[in-house]
Amino acid sequence: MMALDDVRILDLSRLAPGPFCSMLLADLGADVLLIEPPSDSKAAQGAGFGTGTEPYNALGRNKKSIVLNLREQDARDVFYKLLESADVVLEGFRPGVVKRLGVDYETLKAKNPRIVYCSLSGYGQTGPYAEMVGHDINYISVGGALGMIGWPGQPPAIPMNIIADFAGGGLHAAYAILAALHARDRLGEGQYVDIAMSDGVLYLLASSVSTYMMTGRAPGRGDFALNGALPQYNVYECSDGGWISLGSLEGHFWVNLCKALDREDFIPYQMDGSKRDEVFAHFRGKFKTKTRDEWFEILKQTDICVAPVYSLEEALEDPHNVARDMVVEIDHPEAGKVKQVGIGTKLSATPGSVRFTAPTPGQNTDEVLSSIGYDADRIASLREKGIVG
């Protein structure tokens, strides 16, 4: 048994946030069917259709695929048939697209009132920006995150597309879908879920917003306790060019840090800015005397919040991440053994698993159509007409 093995999802999404959302649910057992466009469509080109990277594509794992040309009524009829046994529909188009394709919430709700329908978009379905295009960098700008990342007097530091696409988008959507499914068990019907990545970014800043509302002071770049203002919550370059991160905010961690760096005289000045520049200067000089890994070995043996700043390659090899099964090896019929990111959600009774790698587009078309009553001749006819693929 898996936690979500009684949940069926029709996934119309293309770019990273939607596929990450359905990957999270599929990893916990959900039956996810990708509804993919024909290979000659603009949507397919945007999704990297047919790139041959499926064995390594974690965002597509544990899913099946059918190609449907939803511009055609026969394809929409197939979708409606699949809808009968579905619990969730996930889409990531710009507002209005699903209406034109005939797979919008109102249309599908009339056919299956229990459906949970999630629209995942940049700015949501309402508001002045709803029709605007965008990407992660734009959503973290509007959501207020980008403006507080970086160092004073320098341009905002652009992070990888983790905050909006994956956290404010995909993770936020997965959590909302599960909440809507739980509500359905109590109410007896599904509902519409409108997820905006810009909303998700601002939601992630709940603590910062609370501080601002209370004090009237918003975190600027590098001037807040958690974004660079404190010597004890910062990063330092080491003798080998590697970087070490400190997070010693609490008093006892600060005391241990000062002792480890041979400056016990700094202890009374933990939150006193009068020696801030002197502390920074000493820390910067001290960390330049040893390599990153040497410092990590020394400091992790004391009660100090410390960690090496890893590249992605190093993170994948770190013994803790490996011990936590955050790198898994999967068998692929053609590529052999491939490695992917593991499953972050650890459940004791109903654990998730990587059961199979991402499908090629349309890999499961015949299987899926057969399961809803289409015989071989009819499937062949639909394929010849370009309805399915």
Picking from 33-47, 107-121, 161-175, 275-289, which range would have the lowest pLDDT averaged per residue? 33-47
Residue 81 above 90 pLDDT?
Answer: yes
pLDDT at 44: 55
- CA 127 – CA 183 distance, rounded (Å): 26
145 is in which domain, residue-wise?
8-204+359-384
CA angle (138 as vertex; 21, 345 as ends), nearest 5:
25
341 — pLDDT class (breaks 50, 70, 90)? very high
Catalytic residue from among 31, 165, 172, 199: 165
Catalytic residue from among 74, 135, 282, 318: 135
Residue 121 above 80 pLDDT?
Answer: yes
Whether residue 12 is found in the same domain as residue 109:
yes
- Torsion angle (degrees, nearest 10) of CA 56, 178, 199, 223: -70
More confident residue, 53 or 63: 63
Q: Is residue 247 part of a domain?
A: yes
Whether residue 311 is found in the same domain as residue 376:
no
User: Collapsing DSSP states into helix, strand and coil, what is residue 102?
Assistant: coil
273 — pLDDT class (breaks 50, 70, 90)? confident
How many domains would you assign to the chain? Answer: 2
Give the residue from 261, 288, 317 where a domain finishes: 317
Q: Is residue 218 part of a domain?
A: no
The CATH number assigned to the domain holding 286 equals: 3.30.1540.10
- CA 41 – CA 71 distance, rounded (Å): 11
DSSP 354-379: --S-PPPTTTTHHHHHHHTT--HHHH
Q: Is residue 304 part of a domain?
A: yes
- CA 255 – CA 264 distance, rounded (Å): 7
Whether residue 66 is found in the same domain as residue 190:
yes
Whether residue 106 is found in the same domain as residue 179:
yes
Whether residue 160 is found in the same domain as residue 297:
no
Whether residue 170 is found in the same domain as residue 24:
yes
Q: What is the pLDDT of residues 223-250, one digit of tens each?
A: 888 999 999 999 999 999 999 999 999 9
* 223 is known as an active-site residue: no
Q: What is the pLDDT of residues 28-62, one digit of tens each?
A: 999 999 999 998 665 554 444 455 678 999 999 99
Q: Is residue 263 part of a domain?
A: yes
pLDDT at 51: 56
Whether residue 165 is found in the same domain as residue 249:
no
Tell me the average pLDDT across 59-74.
97
| % of the chain with per-residue pLDDT over 90 | 92
* 6 is known as an active-site residue: no
What interhelical angle do 292-299 and 251-260 show, nearest 10? 120
Give the residue from 317, 335, 369 where a domain finishes: 317
Q: Is residue 349 part of a domain?
A: no
DSSP 8-state symbol, 15: S
CA angle (226 as vertex; 152, 210 as ends), nearest 5:
105
Whether residue 260 is found in the same domain as residue 186:
no
pLDDT at 53: 75
pLDDT at 43: 57
The CATH number assigned to the domain holding 25 equals: 3.40.50.10540
Q: What are the start-end ranges of the E strands in the chain?
A: 8-11, 31-36, 63-67, 88-91, 116-121, 192-196, 235-237, 243-246, 306-308, 327-332, 336-341
Report how far apart the first and last C-alpha atoms of the chain are (Å, whole number). 32
Q: What is the pLDDT of residues 247-269, one digit of tens each?
A: 999 999 999 999 999 999 999 99
- CA 184 – CA 186 distance, rounded (Å): 5
Whether residue 186 is found in the same domain as residue 240:
no
Show Cβ contacts of residue 369 under 8 Å, excluding neighbours closer than 6 positions: 66, 78, 378, 379, 382, 388
Tell me the average pLDDT across 370-379.
96
Residue 272 above 90 pLDDT?
Answer: no
